[in-house]
Amino acid sequence: MSSLLFERSSDDRLIAGVCGGIAARLAVDATLVRLVFAILALAGGAGILVYLALWIYARGRRALPAAILFAVASAAILFALGLSGTALLGATLLVAGFVTVLAAGGSLRPGGSVPRLGVVLLVAGAVIFLGRSGASGGFLAPGAVAGALVLVVGPWLWQLTTERTERIRLQERAEVAARIHDSVLQTLALIQRHAGDPVRVSTIARRQERELRRWLYGSGVSDAESLVAALADAAADVEELHGVPVELATAGDTRLDDGTRQLVLAAREAMTNAAKFSGAVEIAVYAEVGADTVSVFVRDRGAGFDRTAVAPDRRGIAESIEGRLKRAGGTATIVTAPGSGTEVELRLPRSKS
Amino acid sequence: MKRRVVLVDDHELFRAGVRGEIAASVDIVGEAGTVAEAVPLIRELDPDVVLLDVHLPDGGGEGVIAGVTQERPAVKFLALSVSDAAEDVIGVIRAGARGYVTKTISGSELEVAIERVAQGDAVFSPRLAGFVLDAFREGEPLGGDAELENLTPREREVLQLIARGYRYKEIATRLHLSIKTVEAHVSSVLRKLQLTSRHELSRWAQERRLV
């Protein structure tokens, strides 16, 4: 079967699959081929005859009836053009070009051989058609222009876009591979080495989970500059340093500026305190970006403490949390009592920018 | 009487972990790893609660809910996921799940959540509460049915406390309410989430993807 110029397409067919087959062979869209046949059909029914000829050829490789039909079709085209030397030359060149492309095993797929001779013949044929179509063959002119453009430029454009898509896909694949190597594989190696230490293993696993999740569902580059991303970073650091899980919930997000950076630092300090001193098994952090306030809540169900019993110079709370928020123009409230856990509420007016 | 539970998750390892943690207090009657497996299984077993992964290889948890509710309207779904994508989580809730918890939840908390869902209440994890507050953001009237499109101040307050990590009991104490009232507020939010006009929430989801 491979000795055939083309095979009728069994799945891409409207009538007998001839157009689909040619399209598959040339690696172009079947609609384009059908368009060419439709235009040819206008030329005294030549397109229909050519179609029949190709059908007969493809069915039984009976070259003779096909050739006769071809000849009739050519005559019809020439008749439609008003028989003339240039039209004959143009038609011959077009047919020759077409056959050359097919016969040269011409595939216009990326990387496939491109039969230059065939393309040259097609272009020449189209140009000659164009040159003489001004007077009598008015209806053929647009068809010839479109045909020439489609035949010559179409495949190249198509090839270019496919190559580009392919390249982008390869690039993405490489990025994913690099990312997985740097993160997941390293983490798995770490887990194997620390198999005997469940706390460490679960911390490593959680951190990895966070990173992957942010990469998969985050919004990409700008993430590092957002409040939620910065809080997630802080939470992951605290988890890793102190081995206490931090659950982060958020409503809304905003870009980081000087004020919100201070807010994140204060929240981080609050998480650290909770992890170090409360004895709680989990810390809950909630950030809400409202219309005019950004709020962060850091809560634990741990030991709690008596504010009055803490020395006023303990820098953690006074300086790192309350002082920091005050300087940024916000407020910090600490609600706690021995035995009932601690909640640090940080509120910052949104800067109007 | 033990609650009858079906586990739907494509990770055998995760299913084994959950089984180990809660098998003592609930009756795990079946397990499935895909939408295609889950739908006939749940229809046949008619469990009290289905623990449902948000992401399955052949579609979302939404597909399982859609395939079951017609025939078995009494089956309750509790979504369980590591996914952080708000749209996916909200999608499963809108399809009919009674709650959402993250996979890092402890065994005992999961048992409480299953019991709560089995009784017809809603279970909101802090993360889901944040997503919902984001979707029903204040000062942005969504139009349409005002009662359905907006949360009451009290519902908002309850959700904020859930997001901050408070349990229902702690919320009740803090707001001087009964636990039943807190549960009623959460169920009301769930109802609004499921009934509010699809159009507005999909706009929200769109915006989130663009942020």
**Mean of pLDDT over chain A:** 76
How far apart (Å, rounded) are the C-alpha atoms in residues A125 and B46? 73
CATH of domain A220-349: 3.30.565.10
For helices B179-195 and B168-175, what crossing angle results, to 10°?
Answer: 110
How far apart (Å, rounded) are the C-alpha atoms in residues A103 and A97? 10
Residue A176's DSSP bridge partners are: none
Task: Tell me which amino acid residue A81 is.
Answer: L
The Cα angle at residue B159 between residues B155 and B162, in degrees rounded to 5: 145
List the domain boundaries for chain A.
18-167, 220-349
Residue of B nearest to A221 (CA): B211
List the domain boundaries for chain B.
1-120, 122-211
Chain A residues close to B102, C-beta within 8 Å: 247
Task: Tell me which amino acid residue A103 is.
Answer: A
Q: Among A89-103, B17-31, B111-125, whose mean pLDDT is lowest?
A: A89-103
CB-CB: which of B85, B129, B139 is closest to A291? B139
Task: Tell me which amino acid residue A10 is.
Answer: S
Q: Give the minimum alpha-carbon distance from B29 to chain A in angstroms, rounded to a whole number.
A: 29
Chain A residues close to B84, C-beta within 8 Å: 213-214, 216-217
- Burial label for A157, CB within 10 Å (0-12, 13-18, 19+), is exposed
Please report, for residues A43, A44, A72, B42, the alpha-carbon distance to residue A80 in angstroms, rounded to integers and kept in the order given.
5, 6, 12, 70
Rg (CA), chain B: 17
CATH 1.10.10.10 fits B122-211, yes or no: yes
Q: Is the pLDDT of residue A82 over 70?
A: no
Q: Among A29-43, A162-176, B110-124, B158-172, whose mean pLDDT is lowest?
A: A29-43
pLDDT of B39 reads 93
Contact (CB, 8 A) for A346 and A296:
yes
pLDDT of A299 reads 94
Q: Domain B1-120: give its CATH architecture.
A: 3-Layer(aba) Sandwich (3.40)
Judge whether B91 is closer than 8 Å to chain A, CB to CB.
no
Most confident of A173-177, A187-191, A315-319, A338-342: A338-342
> Is A213 in contact with B83 (Cβ distance < 8 A)?
yes
Contact (CB, 8 A) for A147 and A125:
no
> Of A222 and A79, which is predicted with more confidence?
A79
Residue of B nearest to A222 (CA): B211
> Is A247 in contact with B164 (Cβ distance < 8 A)?
no
Q: Give the minimum alpha-carbon distance from A118 to chain B in angstroms, rounded to a whole number.
A: 47
What is the average pLDDT across A254-261?
88
Q: Is the pLDDT of residue B144 over 60?
A: no
Q: Is the pLDDT of residue A1 over 50?
A: no
pLDDT of A115 reads 65
What is the average pLDDT across B129-144?
72
Write out the E strands in chain A. Answer: 246-251, 283-289, 293-300, 331-336, 342-349
Task: Tell me which amino acid residue B191 is.
Answer: R
Q: For A337-352, how does the pLDDT look when each residue is reduced to its tens digit (9 = 90+)? A: 888 889 999 999 987 6
> Is A286 in contact with B211 (Cβ distance < 8 A)?
no
Task: Tell me which amino acid residue B22 is.
Answer: I
How far apart (Å, rounded) are the C-alpha atoms in residues A305 and A282? 17
Residue A344's DSSP bridge partners are: A298, A334
Find how far residue B117's CA is from the centre of its chain.
9
| Fold matches, B1-120 and B122-211 | no
Residue of A nearest to B167 (CA): A301
Judge whether B136 is closer than 8 Å to chain A, CB to CB.
no
* ipTM value: 0.82
How far apart (Å, rounded) are the C-alpha atoms in residues A286 and A291? 16
How would you label B69-94 residue by residue, b for 16+ Cβ within 10 Å and e otherwise?
A: eeeeeebbbbbbbebbbbbbbbbbbb
Chain B residues close to A252, C-beta within 8 Å: 134, 137
How far apart (Å, rounded) are the C-alpha atoms in residues A55 and A70? 11
The Cα angle at residue B4 between residues B32 and B122, in degrees rounded to 5: 90
Classify A242 as helix, strand or coil.
Answer: helix
pLDDT of A32 reads 80
What is the average pLDDT across B67-74?
89
> Is B164 in contact with A343 (Cβ distance < 8 A)?
yes
Closest C-alpha to B105, from B75, B131, B128, B77? B128
pLDDT of B71 reads 87
For helices A18-26 and A30-42, what crossing angle results, to 10°?
Answer: 130
pLDDT of B1 reads 78
- Taking any CB pair shorter than 8 Å as contact, residues of chain A touching chain B are 206, 209, 213-214, 216-217, 219, 245, 247-253, 282, 284-286, 288, 290-291, 297, 299, 343
Assign 3-state DSSP to chain A and report helix, strand, coil percentages, each to 5: 65, 10, 25
Residue of B nearest to A209 (CA): B82
DSSP for residue A152: H
Chain A residues close to B126, C-beta within 8 Å: 247, 249, 284, 286
Chain B residues close to A214, C-beta within 8 Å: 84
For helices A227-242 and A258-273, what crossing angle results, to 10°?
Answer: 20
